[in-house]
Structure 1
């Protein structure tokens, strides 16, 4: 291992909030049993907020950015991992309470380090990253709660966002009829190519606001919250599941108990960051196998280096980015 390595580090001190690539030593990193040479990371909206200071993401400073990471083990004090193993980690405090994946070397806690399952490359795992894991976790929760294709189509909101588009592909691969909901009509052809049976303009979904409406969906994966989530609950078929992972529209939810006590609709929360290890492993096994998106090459729109992160962050926050971005940390995966 080289004495120094490059990392995208975020500071907030007397000199202000700032971030950029700098040289570090291993002792500068958060503690952990598994040391990896990073191959790839990814870029999420949360990363853009953290890297620019426009969102309160980091709880301590300084830290390396990047909530996702994948690479090869170069040292481990935990017998479950050996040198050369391909591994990944998403969430679990990365770029929040501990150093993240925008670093040529990362030190990880063994309890959150996942062996890369057969069927996925390191790069593919980071095209998925937290976004794909969140969609997969939603599907896992729904199926554990008896969601089946026979209940009816699955509505996926925010379908042109990173989580949503991966959700369209993942749910389609798992055998569900997907109805993609988005305000971007110019992306409907793209969503159809990912597997959406129908595409619905969110501005034309005229939910009545009544406690319940005619059942339209067998279930839903919601990334936006607010009135959209309330409308989905009111239009979900008996014993269907609505999995909620986001608040792009609003964190508020104005609804009634009627869908729950009359139709037995279930509202499932999806919090990917601290998911239990056994569930984490189940999701990644599915994502490498029967739920693996068929269109990762379409969803992946750019590969960049750490030096290019600030410009991409600004584009993301301004709504000028599309698709999943992968950060190539070292030349080989």
Structure 2
């Protein structure tokens, strides 16, 4: 590979006055960080953490200029790792990728070998990024239900933030496994989509705010998947059945949790935190094995749309404005790269 190899990627620059700008530009391969594995990225996906990084959120990315993209799937071009060879199709998600390490919104990444997982043979690279961190998170929620014996026969389950990527995939997987799924969303105009996925009932997010002044609410849910946090999560916890399980992975409303102890000491409610960035490798492999088999989201195409690298900035603005529904696949290695090869 020539020393002056160039590739295309997004760069976020910090401007004067605390402003940030985004451009797609040629980048130097030699400027990538040191690592064991060089991957030519075929696909990435847009996550809320990417939108924050791309808009200058120092809680996500401390240093700029920077290339976001916490998800990447592609083909190894160089490797010093004995179990990862050039030509292998692989996934890299989480850890520091796209936060302070140059991420998947560039046509190349260079990362440590212990960040890389071989692509499951039954999935295409495109499918892995349609699933991405959102689907990986949703699958972990399902595994938490399994591990805590939350069965479809226990009663209905609730998904908050149901039109986001992780919310929609959670709804899809829960329906596939036979649960009665209720969705809580501020985008009730998306009810037809949720019903197409098999959701039994769509609730306006105002339901999640009812009874905020009460210590306990009517026991309704056997399980819940929450990406909202704040008062909605508190009220969901207060609405759980005995031994109900709530999985929590987001703070779209708030990082605060205004709650009392009664759901725990009177109903035995369990709250399971779900994290993906630092998920141990063995658990990653287990989750991806399930996503490639019985937890494959069968209606994935219905909730996914694609955007090229040059158009991803527009999708970022839509996401930050709360106007994006479902998953956004980023086609990284497309016609833009033809003149660089």
The correspondence of residues 267-278 of structure 1 with structure 2, limited to 5 A, is: 267-278=271-282
User: 3-state SS of the aligned residue for 1:237?
Assistant: strand
> 2:296 is matched with which residue?
292
The answer as to whether partners of 1:209 and 1:231 remain within 8 angstroms in 2 is: no
Deviation per CA, 1:248-297: give whole Å up to 9, x if none: 11211111111112221111111211111111111111111111111111
User: Does the CA contact (< 8 Å) of 1:173 and 1:290 recur in 2?
Assistant: no
**Contact kept in structure 1, 2:42 and 2:75, CA below 8 Å:** yes
Could you tell me how far apart the structure 2 residues matched to 1:161 and 1:124 are? 18
Residues 140-155 of structure 1: matches in 2 within 5 Å? 140-155=143-158
TM-score (norm 2): 0.91
1:12 alignment counterpart: 14
Residue 191 of structure 1: how far off its partner (Å): 0.4
Q: Distance in 2 between matches of 1:157 and 1:133?
A: 17
Deviation of 1:97 (Å): 2.1
Contact 2:8 2:24 survives alignment (8 Å):
yes
CA distance in 2, matches of 1:331, 1:207: 51
Return the offset for 1:208: 5.7
The alignment status of 1:317 with 2:328, answered yes or no, reads: no
Correspondent of 2:129 among 126, 130, 152: 126
Selected match of 1:88 from 66, 87, 91: 91
Deviations 1:140-186 (A, max 9, x none): 23322332223222200010112211111122223322111112222
What secondary structure, in the 3-state scheme, does the structure 1 residue paired with 2:30 have? helix
Matched, 1:210 2:214: yes
SS at match of 1:218: strand
Indicate if the aligned counterparts of 2:308 and 2:334 stay in contact, CA closer than 8 A. Answer: no
Is the CA contact (8 Å cut-off) linking 1:215 and 1:234 kept in structure 2? yes
TM-score (ref. length: structure 1): 0.93
Match of 2:338 in 1: none
- Rounded to whole Å, the distance in 2 between the matches of 1:273 and 1:217 is 28
Structure 2: give runs of 5+ residues left out of the alignment: 336-341
Higher relative contact order (CA 8 A, sep 6+): 1
Note if contact 2:212-2:231 (Cα within 8 Å) is conserved in structure 1.
Answer: no
CA contact (8 A) 1:139 1:171 kept: yes
Q: Does 1:251 align with 2:251?
A: no
Matches within 5 A, 1:42-53: 42-53=45-56
Could you list the runs of 5+ residues in structure 1 that have no partner in the other structure? none
- Figure out how many residues of one structure are paired with residues of the other and give that number: 331
Structure 1 stretches of 4+ moved >6 Å: 13-16
Residue 170 in 1 paired to residue 180 in 2?
A: no
2:201 aligns with one of 189, 198, 222: 198
Is the Cα–Cα contact under 8 Å of residues 68 and 90 in structure 1 kept in the other structure? Answer: yes
User: 1:90-139: CA deviations, max 9, x gaps?
Assistant: 22111212110011111122112111113221111111111111111222
Name the CA shift for 1:256/1:128 in 2 (closer, same or farther; >3 Å).
Answer: same
* Equivalent-residue separation in structure 2 for 1:85 and 1:153 (angstroms): 42
Contact 1:68–1:129 (Cα < 8 Å) also in 2: yes
CA distance in 2, matches of 1:107, 1:281: 21
